[in-house]
């Protein structure tokens, strides 16, 4: 493997640093988009509403509910 000069090493480090900065910025944008709950809710309104209905139904006891024992 040929030896690199200090200047070549510096240029390589700087190029890697710039590429890493671009990757991090892209990742920040993707994370911000995925964690934007308002946008996710607007894009997936129907499944969200169905989930809320089912969760409310189950929290309410379903069709049978919890019957109270009579004394």
Question: Would the pLDDT of 22 be above 80?
Answer: yes
- Establish if 64 belongs to a structural domain: no
Domain that holds residue 39: 6-59
pLDDT value at residue 2 = 77
What's the structural domain count of the chain?
Answer: 1
Q: Taking the C-alpha atoms of 23, 28, 29 and 30 in order, what is their torsion angle to the nearest 10 degrees?
A: 90
pLDDT value at residue 32 = 94
- Establish if 52 belongs to a structural domain: yes
- Establish if 68 belongs to a structural domain: no
- Alpha-carbon distances, residue 55 vs 59, 60, 62 (angstroms): 6, 8, 10
24-36 pLDDT, tens digit per residue, is 999 999 999 999 9
What mean pLDDT comes out for the span 38-50? 93
pTM: 0.53
- Establish if 48 belongs to a structural domain: yes
């Amino acid at each position: 493997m040929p030896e690199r000069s200090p200047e070549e090493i510096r240029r390589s480090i700087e190029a890697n640093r710039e590429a890493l900065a671009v990757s991090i910025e892209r990742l920040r944008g993707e994370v911000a988009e995925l964690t934007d709950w308002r946008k996710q809710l607007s894009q997936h309104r129907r499944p969200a509403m169905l989930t809320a209905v089912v969760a409310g139904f189950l929290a309410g006891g379903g069709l049978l509910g919890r019957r109270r024992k009579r004394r």
